[in-house]
Structure 1
Amino acid sequence: MKKNKSFCVCPLASGSKGNSLFVSCHNSSILIDAGLSGIEIERRLKAVNISPENLTAIIITHEHSDHVKGAGILSRRFDIPVYITQKTYEACSGLGRIEDLHFFECGTPFKLDQILISPFSISHDAKDPSGLTLEYNGHKIGIATDLGIVTSLVKEHLKNSNILYLEANHDPDMLMNGSYPWHLKQRIKGRTGHLSNLDAGMLVSELKTDDLKHVILAHLSEENNCPQKAVKTVSKSLNASEIGLHVARPDQPGTIIKL
C-alpha cells in the first residue's frame, strides 16, 4: 500500500469469533486488535492488498481471545511492536513472548510515528479495557467496541471524529427472545456487556457533525442481531445525511475507507 497522507481504515473481522481493524496513514500501518489466527489475519490483509510485512504496530484493547488470538504470532513472525496496558498484558494467557512490548495507560496519549493515540477507559468485563482515538493531520478516528454503557468520558473522546468504529452488538428483542441462557443475556445487556443497536443509534445522534463522514458498525452478534436491523436502527439517527454507514463483517474484510 502506498504512503497515505490521511487515514485509511479497513475492518478485517468483527464479531464474537474475532476482531481486527487495520488503520494506516503516513508511515504507519496499525492493527487494532488481532483476534483471528495469524494465518487468517495474513490472508485477510492480502485479500485487500495489504502486506503484513509492512505492519508497524499492534494495539490491543483488552485481553479477550477474540481480540488477541493472533497478536503474539504476528508480532514474532513480522517483528511488530505490541502496545497494551500492563493490566491487560498480565491478563493475557496466550500472547507468548513479545520482544518489542510497549505499555500504555488509559488517559495518557502517546504517539506512533506522527499519529496521536488517545486511549480511554470503557465499561466492559475485562481487566483494563480501552477505547481509542487516532488523530493525524486534522483527521480523527474514534473506536469504541465492547462496552456496556456510554459514559460522558466515551462521548468526550469520540466527539469530532471523522470516522466512528462503533459497537452495535445486538437487537434487544432478538437477544431477549433468543436461545442464550438468562445469565448470558444479562451479561450482554448489562453495564459491562455490549451496546445494542439502539445504544449505537443514540450515540451517533449525539456525535453527528458535519465532520463525521463514515460510521462503521462493529461487533454485531451473529445470533442476536443482523446487519439489516443494525443499519435500519442507526440510520434513523443520521436523518438522511450523507454520512456513509457500513457494517464490519465477521467472515471477510470490508472495503478500505479513506479520508
Structure 2
Amino acid sequence: MRVCLLASGSKGNAIFVESSGTRLLIDAGLSGREICSRLQQLDVAGEDLDAILVSHDHGDHCRGLGPMARRCGLPVHIHPETLAALPKLGRIDHLHEFDSGATFLIGELQIETIPLTHDAAHTVGFRIHGAEGTVGVATDLGIATRLVRERLKGCRVLVVETNHDEELLRDGPYPWHLKQRIRSNHGHLSNTAGAELLDTLRWDGLEAVFLAHLSETNNTRDHALAAVERVLRPQNLCQPQLIVGQQAAVSCCFVA
C-alpha cells in the first residue's frame, strides 16, 4: 500500500492511493501537467493510473480533471450533480457516474462513497478497501456526521481535514461572511473538529493519518499537529504516523 498527498490546500488538491495492484487519483485540482510531474516523483506515470475519483466540483479539486483524463486516457468516477456543475469539463471518453453512498469496484479495490456536508453541488468522501487494508478520505466537510464517523471506522490510513485554527480564522484578514462560511456546517473542519473526528476513529490498526486542506492564511502545520497530538498523546491504543499535506510539494508517503 502507498498513500500520498500530491497537493493539499485551497489552491489545489490531489491524492494518490496505490493498493492491491490498483492506482487511483482522488481529485485533480492542479493542472494535468503538474499532476503528472508530481506523480513522476513517485515513479508513477499518469497513464499508470486506473481511474480518477472526484469528490466535488470546486476548482481546487477538479481544475485539471478534464485535461488529466484526456491526456492519460483515464476513467472518471463522478456524482451526476458534480458532473452537471462542470459545464466546461469537456469530453471524457470513460465516464462512470455513481450515487451517493454507492459502492463499486475499480480493479481489486472496493470504493464506497460517503456523503459529506459542504457548499458544493454534491460532496463525497471515500472508503477504499482492498486486501492490504482500508484508506478513508474525508476533506471539505463542515461537520463530521454520525454516518461519516461510522464509514471511516477501521481504516489503516486516514486522510482528514484540519483546515483552520479557530483563533487564527477569527482574528485573520478574511471578511466576516467568508469566516462564517468556513465555520458553518457546510464549510471546513477546524483543527479541533478534525482532531475530534480522529479521536472517534482510533483503533489499534490505525497506522497513518494525513492532515489535509490546511489554510495558508488561517492555519499552520504546528497548529494542526498540536491539535491532533492533544488527542493522541493521552492514549496508547495507536500511535499513527502523522503526515501534514502541503500545497507546493508532494507529502511524505505512507508505504507498507
TM-score category, normalised to shorter length: over 0.9
Q: Residue 121 of structure 1 aligns to a residue in which SS? A: strand
Q: Distance in 2 between matches of 1:26 and 1:151?
A: 30
Alignment of 1:205-220 (within 5 A): 205-220=199-214
Could you state the TM-score of these two structures normalised by the residue count of structure 1?
0.95
Question: Which one-letter code corresponds to 1:64 in the other structure?
Answer: H
1:255 match: 252
Deviations, residues 53-84 of structure 1 (Å, cap 9, x unaligned): 20110000000010011111011111100000
Verify: 1:48 aligned to 2:45, yes or no: no
Q: Residue 176 of structure 1 aligns to a residue in which SS? A: helix
Q: CA deviation at 1:168?
A: 0.1
1:193 match: 187
Q: Distance in 2 between matches of 1:230 and 1:98?
A: 37
Q: Is the CA contact (8 Å cut-off) linking 1:106 and 1:130 kept in structure 2?
A: yes
Alignment of 1:89-104 (within 5 A): 89-104=83-98
Q: Is the CA contact (8 Å cut-off) linking 2:20 and 2:131 kept in structure 1?
A: no
Q: CA deviation at 1:8?
A: 1.0
Q: Percent same amino acid at aligned positions?
A: 42
2:111 match: 117
2:129 match: 135
Q: Is the CA contact (8 Å cut-off) linking 2:114 and 2:148 kept in structure 1?
A: yes
2:10 match: 16
1:178 match: 172
Q: CA deviation at 1:138?
A: 5.3
Q: Residue 100 of structure 2 aligns to a residue in which SS? A: coil
Q: Distance in 2 between matches of 1:159 and 1:26?
A: 20
2:78 match: 84
1:162 match: 156
Q: Distance in 2 between matches of 1:82 and 1:92?
A: 13
Say how many residue pairs are matched. Answer: 253
Question: Which one-letter code corresponds to 1:235 in the other structure?
Answer: E
Verify: 1:243 aligned to 2:240, yes or no: yes
Deviations, residues 184-209 of structure 1 (Å, cap 9, x unaligned): 00000001000000001111111111
State the 4+ residue runs in structure 1 displaced beyond 6 angstroms: none
Could you state the TM-score of these two structures normalised by the residue count of structure 2?
0.96
Q: CA deviation at 1:94?
A: 3.4
Q: Distance in 2 between matches of 1:26 and 1:108?
A: 21
Q: Is the CA contact (8 Å cut-off) linking 1:63 and 1:92 kept in structure 2?
A: yes
Q: Is the CA contact (8 Å cut-off) linking 2:15 and 2:25 kept in structure 1?
A: yes
Question: Which one-letter code corresponds to 1:94 in the other structure?
Answer: K
